[in-house]
Amino acid sequence: MAQMTMIQAITDALRCELRDDENVLVFGEDVGVNGGVFRATEGLQKEFGVDRVFDTPLAESGIGGLAVGLSLTGYRSVPEIQFFGFVYEVMDSISGQLARYRYRTGNTFNMPVTIRSPFGGGVHTPEMHSDSLEGLMAQQPGLKVVIPSTPYDAKGLLISSIRDNDPVIFLEHLKLYRSVKEEVPEESYTVPLGKADVKREGKDLSIFAYGLMVHESLKAAAELEKEGYSVEVVDLRTVQPLDIETIIASVEKTNRAIVVQEAQKQAGIAANVVAEITERAILSLEAPVLRVAAPDTIYPFPQAENIWLPNYKDILETAKKVLTF
């Protein structure tokens, strides 16, 4: 075991997979000798060579096409999109192509591709760096969408994603890269895709969250405990497909729930969680399932992030509405 930040855990997962599977390739803009703009691929090119870890021209669509083509010749690609706001350039390669190959070829070709990309607010990035666009990806049949919130989960989920034989979108929150440290095993291990994790047990209210909002939810849960409420915090970890079993079991226990996301209310995946709960556990509910989400505007100018991004205070407020409904 070693103390690792999330970014170190990610690098470690990439190192494990590059070492264990010679078909794994890591590529993108500045991921080679530079080690990535956030040092996620630091040292990998030196260790595994320029044939395994390499830079590309600056063109996201081309990077997506490269991943498709390399899969057809038997490689397992782990391309990087420098910031997920740039996904619009590569929407066809991801949603129009990668996601559809197994289906369109009647299960004769498949795309074992993991697209890594950072996103998320709170660090005053320029335009189109921090937008939460996981909702777009979650709507595309053929993809899986993974968003870790801790170093331990990040390593295990990334290894699972790379080993998955279908395309996975692996989104890394910028604010979580270095803000949390925890014990992470040095050897290879996996955390299953499509499985949520109860980060804190409780019996009065379930909070479903992912990404940075998991930590804000834990903070809110600690505050609520002081007021006598026992709050369960469930980290979804995979936002598509959802872990229905864990979600419903939690709601059936607590009878009250809120869903917390950083994305705008009309975006993200919170509406989907609410709909699933409504369809499957409405008779367990003592109150409506409310959402904590950002306003339905374009992502804020950097100086307005602190008044715009949802935080633990918003979660507290919404939680109390549900607890006292």
Partner 1 sequence: MGEKNSKQFDPAATLETIENQFEMFQILNEEGKIVNEAAVPNLSDEELVELMSRMVYTRILDQRSISLNRQGRLGFYAPTAGQEASQLASHYALEKNDWILPGYRDVPQIVYHGLPLWKAFLFSRGHFVGNQIPEGVNVLPPQIIIGAQYVQAAGVALGIKKRGTADVAVTYTGDGGSSQGDFYEGINFAGAFKAPAIFIVQNNQFAISTPREVQTAAKTIAQKGIAAGIPSVLVDGMDPLAVYVATKDARDRAVRGEGPSLIETMCYRYGPHTMSGDDPTRYRTSDNDSEWAAKDPIVRFRIYLEGKGLWNEEKETEVIERAKEEIKEAIKKADEAPKQKVTDLISNMYEEKPYNLQEQYEVFKAKESK
User: What positions carry a catalytic annotation?
Assistant: 129
Considering the rule CB under 8 A, would residue 62 count as an interface residue with partner 1? yes
Calpha distance 59→258 (Å, rounded): 39
Report the C-alpha dihedral over residues 157, 161, 162, 167, rounded to 10 degrees: -160
Please check whether residue 85 is in contact with residue 133, taking contact to mean a CB–CB distance below 8 angstroms: yes
Calpha distance 84→289 (Å, rounded): 29
Calpha distance 273→290 (Å, rounded): 11
**Interaction mask 75-114, partner 1, x per CB under 8 A:** x----------------xx--xx----xxxxxxxxx----
Considering only 16, 67, 158, 207, the residue that binds partner 1 (CB under 8 A) is: 67
Dihedral pair phi/psi, residue 197, rounded to 5°:
-140, 130
Considering the rule CB under 8 A, would residue 294 count as an interface residue with partner 1? no
The window from 63-71, 118-126, 153-161, 225-233 that contacts partner 1 (CB under 8 A) reads 63-71
The window from 1-9, 162-170, 213-221, 261-269 that contacts partner 1 (CB under 8 A) reads 162-170
Considering only 122, 142, 185, 302, the residue that binds partner 1 (CB under 8 A) is: 142
The site that binds partner 1 (CB under 8 A) totals a number of residues, namely 44
Tokens linked to 213: 């909002």
Please check whether residue 15 is in contact with residue 44, taking contact to mean a CB–CB distance below 8 angstroms: yes
Calpha distance 236→85 (Å, rounded): 22
Considering the rule CB under 8 A, would residue 190 count as an interface residue with partner 1? no
**Interaction mask 226-265, partner 1, x per CB under 8 A:** --------------xxxxxx--------------------
**Interaction mask 21-60, partner 1, x per CB under 8 A:** ------------------------------x----xx-x-
Calpha distance 291→268 (Å, rounded): 11
DSSP letter (8 states) at residue 176: G
Q: How many CA atoms lie within 13 A of 103 on its CB side?
A: 11
Question: Using CB under 8 A as the criterion, which residues of the chain lie in contact with partner 1 when the complex forms?
Answer: 51, 56-57, 59, 61-62, 64-75, 92-93, 96-97, 102-110, 141-142, 144, 164-166, 194, 240-245
